[in-house]
Amino acid sequence: MPETLEAVAETLETLPEMLETLPETLEAVADRLWLLREGGRSQRDNLRVG
């Protein structure tokens, strides 16, 4: 149980930062899903391919 409480405390400490970056994260996910739906590749994929 102490390990669980410690994990919860650590999560709560990082929660404000996670919430702050959430809009950018969701936008990136939405962009990636749109690219996958359209059959395109992201710039990161293009860099991997060369």
Q: Which pTM does this prediction carry?
A: 0.53
pLDDT value for 39: 82
pLDDT value for 42: 60
pLDDT value for 21: 95
Number of domains in the chain: 1
Task: Give 1-50 as a DSSP string.
Answer: -HHHHHHHHHHHHHHHHHHHHHHHHHHHHHHHHHHHHHT---HHHHHHH-
For each of the chain's 50 residues, which pLDDT tens digit applies?
Answer: 889 999 999 999 999 999 999 999 999 999 999 888 888 666 666 666 54
Domain boundaries, position 18: 2-49
